[in-house]
Amino acid sequence: MLRIESLEVAYGGLRALDGVSIEVAQGQFVAVVGPNGAGKTTLFRAISGTVSPAGGRISYDGHDLLALPAARRAHMGIAHVPEGRQMFPSMTVFENLEMGAYTDAGRARWRETLELVFQLFPVLQERKGQLAGTLSGGEQQMLAIGRGLASAPRLLMLDEPSMGLAPAVADTIFERIQQIHREHGITVLLVEQRVAEALESCDLGYVLETGHVVMQGTHDALIADERVKKAYLGL
């Protein structure tokens, strides 16, 4: 579905990504983990089109993604749930969800996706008339994911969904992400600092450090890797 080959992104002469190659097959749950400053958010921005790579290729369903404007990428079924949630605080919960449904598929499947969002996150239905800026951090993250789902995506990209959340709330968010993948067949690409939780959920994982992929493998292989245990799992 998604193939990234030798991707390079630079900011002011500094390389945020240097030769990164990643593959995501349809139906997979793929996690990209690593410390702050590793280039994880930059990777997502390159996929969604908000930064321009200096080199490499990104293909999606056989199409050259780099040849397409960012808005067109969303219409192809790619939803980017950004780091920090980025709500429209002066709009209601319902209006934020409507903003996510601007794609062709989102408009066509609005009733279906709205039902899914409310099923996954009942609190959003309870507070659909409430201003998004008045929600708690966890509720805003639920709304951010719901807004992504409103576009009826085939690939859901989640950037640090646990950021700033209490552990119990983050656990709930991870459970819902697993449910989205497992029960609804949506391909998930997750960027996350909570390495243990991310690797526990994924089919395939990549470890990104200072702009390079330093390890990759299946869930079982990475969990068992001594370097991963020592550096990221505290074992």
pLDDT tens digits, residue range 12-46?
878 999 999 999 999 999 999 988 889 999 999 99
pLDDT above 70 (res 235)? no
Q: Which residue has the tokens 């993948």?
A: 181
pTM of the model: 0.94
Q: Which of 179, 228, 213 is nearest to 23 (CA)?
A: 213
Looking at residue 147, its pLDDT comes to 97
When divided into structural domains, the chain yields a total of 1
Inter-residue contact 192 to 177 (CB < 8 Å): no
The pLDDT of 223-230, averaged and rounded, is 87
The pLDDT of 116-142, averaged and rounded, is 97
Looking at residue 12, its pLDDT comes to 81
53-62, 150-159, 218-227: least confidently modelled range: 218-227
Domain that holds residue 106: 2-233
What CATH number is given to the structural domain containing 71? 3.40.50.300
- How many of the other CB atoms lie within 10 Å of CB of 149? 25
Q: 51 falls in which pLDDT band (50, 70, 90)?
A: very high
Six token digits for residue 173: 């968010």
Looking at residue 27, its pLDDT comes to 96
The pLDDT of 93-99, averaged and rounded, is 97
Looking at residue 84, its pLDDT comes to 81
- Integer-rounded Cα radius of gyration of the chain: 17
The pLDDT of 2-20, averaged and rounded, is 93
Looking at residue 50, its pLDDT comes to 92
Q: 158 falls in which pLDDT band (50, 70, 90)?
A: very high
pLDDT in tens, 71-86: 899 999 999 999 888 8
Looking at residue 125, its pLDDT comes to 98
| Length of the chain measured in residues | 235
Q: Are strands 2-11 and 29-33 parallel, antiparallel or unpaired?
A: unpaired
Q: Which long-range contacts (CB under 8 A, 24 or more apart) does 225-228 make?
A: 228/195, 228/199
pLDDT above 80 (res 146)? yes
Question: How far apart, in whole angstroms, are the C-alpha atoms of residue 141 and residue 114?
Answer: 16
Looking at residue 89, its pLDDT comes to 95
Which residues, 6 or more positions from 202, have their beta carbon under 8 angstroms from its beta carbon? Answer: 29, 30, 31, 190, 219
